[in-house]
Amino acid sequence: MAAGYAVPAVLPAPVRLVSDTWSAMLRVLLNYRRSPALVAASLAVPVVMVVVFGYVFGSAMRVPGGGDYREFLMPGLFAMVAVNGIMPTMVGAARDVGRGVTDRLRSMPLSRTGLLLGQTLADLLVSIVVLALLAAVGLAAGWRIRGGPADAAEAFALLLLFRFVMTWVGTLLGLAVGKEELAGQLAVAVFPLAMVTNAYVPTGGMPGWLRALADWNPVSAVVQACRELFGNPSAPGSNWATQHAVPAALLWCAALLAICGPLAVRKFATHGR
């Protein structure tokens, strides 16, 4: 070792945060590498979604004001990819709790925020690949981006932001549940969040009370915002959230992240106490 140089006993907090985030991200990505079936399933789902909803159900669907149903559908399918970020992170967090991994990590001098941030960033990288494949399949099925390149980039950035937020929601739920089997069974709770929206059908034909729930659903704001940014057909909104979809979607993301992020870090740091 050169004279006058000493390795610091404790890394500065920002350096430790980056290092722990990177390590946690690699840990999750290596799990994908060792699970090719999981990767294959993640990549196959977009193809199945476009075929089933675009061709099987699409023949019976009509878009208010006219327009191709598959162009109406694709922003909804993009949003579903983002919503589905809840499940793997919830199951993964619950699995780590059940197997004692969380307790082991808490006993180490690691950044709690960095560990959880690394896991969510790893999921975000995987979702980029899934979204790219879904976009390619959609283009092959007739979907087109009618808006400008800047608006399209904003739409994809919004989708990735929403996926990032959903992974924090899933992490918090997984840490709270603490059992892998129970977390898997909670998939049914995500189903209404995904279905009571404007993703697949216009909300105008729903009963009044159900339409109100669907139009105030954060997923609906993201879907409507993407339709506007991509220049795809959309149904008229009935409330502020769907009439001002882009700011509404950003507000939903900010609110959910502000609530679930700190709570997830706190739950991770105090688990078992």
pLDDT, one tens digit per residue, over 211-228 is: 999 999 999 999 999 999
Encoded tokens for 132? 């790219």
Give the range among 32-36, 55-59, 144-148, 267-271 with minimum mean pLDDT. Answer: 32-36
pLDDT of residue 226: 96
Q: What is the pLDDT of residues 217-263, one digit of tens each?
A: 999 999 999 999 999 988 877 789 888 999 999 999 999 999 999 99
pLDDT tens-digit series, residues 15-47: 667 777 777 777 777 776 766 666 666 667 767
68, pLDDT greater than 80: yes
Give pTM, 2 decimals.
0.85
User: What pLDDT score was predicted for residue 64?
Assistant: 75
